[in-house]
Amino acid sequence: MTDLSNVKALAWDIGGTIFDWHHTIKGEVSAIAEAQGAELDVAAFTNMWRFTMFKRLQLVRRGDLPWLNADQLHRRVLDEVMEAHPQLKLDPSERDELNQVWHRMNAWPGSAECLEALRSRYKVTVLTVMSWAIAVDCSKHNGISWDGILSCEFLGHYKPEPEAYHASAKYLGLDISEVMMCAAHKGDLQAAARAGMPTAYVPVATERGEGNDPDMSPDPSFTVNATDFADLSRQLLA
């Protein structure tokens, strides 16, 4: 059994790990397309919006774009996505409203129960590239409580830069070895481990939609590999 006696807090990724961006956004865009009678590959629209946002985030990290938060990036990228899908018609105010869909992402089944159970032993916090407002609104939307929310928009560094992970420990008043990064994204966990954090992997099969499953095999370099949220809570509370 893995020795977790040194772990005092858990820092959680939320976009994709806790909150289901793909099916939430796809559902709302599908309703708009249906109302307009537009023939649209809604899954492609949704994934382009998400993945292009992360490409633009890399430009922010490099200094090639000004410092922007996730809401600003999502809104900029939505214009690009709309240009690539001209069959859907939305004016600027309608695009502003659609951009708010990121604030009402639904939680994955079992995630809320897992987090609540873990709070009985650990400080359970958010460490996300999403905006603080997205984290707050999605948490309220799903009835999820945290011991703290840390958005990279306030840090001057976005994950996977090591400074972002170190900040999570700093603001908890802990050594980085005492804060475990929890995520469904292996790249996030690998960067956290390089920064000195223990790591917990919980796979989410359909994060990118059906047929786009990532590699969900266990990684022996992670401190904990779980099969789902219930298994993660069992392992961390054993």
pLDDT digits (tens, 9 = 90+) for 26-39: 999 999 999 999 99
Is residue 111's pLDDT more than 90? yes
Q: How far apart are CA 224 and CA 182, in angstroms?
A: 9
Residue by residue, DSSP assigns 105-165 as: PEEPTTHHHHHHHHTTTSEEEEEESS-HHHHHHHHHHHT---SEEEEGGGTT--TTSHHHH
Residue 211 token pair: 């047929």
The percentage of the chain sitting over the pLDDT mark of 90, rounded to a whole number, equals 94
Is residue 213's pLDDT more than 80? no
pLDDT of amino acid 236: 98
Mean pLDDT for the stretch of residues 8-13: 99
Classify residue 174 by its DSSP letter: S
Mean pLDDT for the stretch of residues 71-84: 99
Q: What's the pTM value of the predicted model, to 2 decimals?
A: 0.95
Are 107 and 144 in contact, with CB atoms under 8 Å apart?
Answer: yes
Is residue 185's pLDDT more than 90? yes
Q: How far apart are CA 177 and CA 213, in angstroms?
A: 31
Burial class (CB within 10 angstroms; exposed 0-12, middle 13-18, buried 19+) of 37:
exposed
**Domain ranges, ordered by start, for the chain:** 9-20+105-237, 21-104
Q: What is the overall mean pLDDT for the chain?
A: 96
Range 112-121 burial, b when 16+ CB lie within 10 A, else e: bebbebbeee
Q: 9-20+105-237 domain in CATH 3.40.50.1000?
A: yes
Beta-carbon contacts of 54 under 8 Å, excluding residues fewer than 6 positions away, are none
Whether the bond between 160 and the residue before it is cis, its omega within 30 degrees of 0, is yes
Q: 21-104 domain in CATH 1.10.150.240?
A: yes
pLDDT of amino acid 231: 98
pLDDT range class, residue 211, cuts 50, 70, 90: low
pLDDT digits (tens, 9 = 90+) for 125-139: 999 999 999 999 999
Is residue 140's pLDDT more than 80? yes
